[in-house]
Amino acid sequence: MTTGDAQIERAVEMIAGARRVGVLSGAGVSAESRIPTFRDAMEGLWRSFDPQELATPEAFARDPERVTRWYDFRRRKCLDAQPNPGHLALADLEEVMRDRGGWVTVLTQNVDGLHQRAGSRDVVELHGSIMTWRCCESGRRFRDLPAQFEEYPPKSPEGALLRPDVVWFGEALPETALERAYEVAATCEVFLTVGTSSVVYPAAGFTQMAREHGASTIEINPDETPASEVVDLSIRGRSGEVLPLIVAGVRKALE
């Protein structure tokens, strides 16, 4: 048996013995769907820009056309992408746990909507969604957006500016999402952190919090992160490869 097999087996044991599972997901989970990460999104025309200078309220106030063009370019990339085996495995795990009277809640830092498209029902969007845009004046949210906006910056029916419903640098995370995240971290029996560099707070603190509340903690990431030292089990691998193996193992263990 290779170390990888032993680690998968250990993760299966931890999860099959639980009913309440919290997951923190980051850009790495969507990497195999070829969603460009924040920095990778600076391709083509956008190569000369710094993402930190586009994803801020100040950038939007200064140049709403440029910022909305960039976000719409990213929104269309997300629409073209498909959920990968990692997303599908998490949706499957939710079904397994529901059947046992438990739950799986995915706390995601991703704005691409791929967890929901894969079938996950309990998803908390910590950084909002690029699929929803909101009116800067009324706060009204719009989900059924055209394939491409007719003008940049796009306007709401009231004639005010529309902006993507995402959290920009310097903005607070949505309060209800944060409250749910703390609740999940405090009440889950297993906490999985997948495809995140674990450096952006408060999301990075959830693993620690889950641990303090007695949960077993697992990380899945091809690279070492600050969470690697904190978790009970650190699996070096891609989420699209590791998660399907774990969930298949859990299904088998519970047969």
Contacts with ligand OAD by CB under 6 A lie at 26-28, 31-32, 37-38, 55, 109, 127, 167, 169, 195-197, 200, 220-223, 225, 238-240
Residue matched to tokens 């269309």:
76
Classified as helix, coil or strand, 253 is helix
Is the CB of 101 or the CB of 111 nearer to ligand OAD?
A: 111
Q: How far is the CB of 84 from ligand OAD (least distance, A)?
A: 8
Nearer CB in complex with ligand OAD: 27/104: 27
Taking the CA atoms of 69, 76, 83 and 162 in sequence, report the sign of the dihedral they define. positive
Query: 185 with 204: CB under 8 angstroms?
Result: no
Of the candidates 87, 115, 127, 213, the residue annotated as catalytic is: 127
> Closest separation between CB of residue 34 and ligand OAD, Å?
11
- For ligand OAD, which residue has the nearest CB? 28
How many CB atoms sit inside 10 A of residue 85's CB?
A: 20
What is the phi/psi pair of residue 41, to 5°? -70, -10
Number of residues that this document lists for the chain:
255
Least separation, in Å, of the C-beta of 220 and ligand OAD?
Answer: 6
Least distance in Å: CB of 172 to ligand OAD? 11
In angstroms, the Cα distances linking 204 to 26, 171, 249 are 10, 17, 28
Is 127 labeled as catalytic in the residue annotation?
yes
157 vs 170, beta carbon nearer ligand OAD:
170
Catalytic residue list:
127
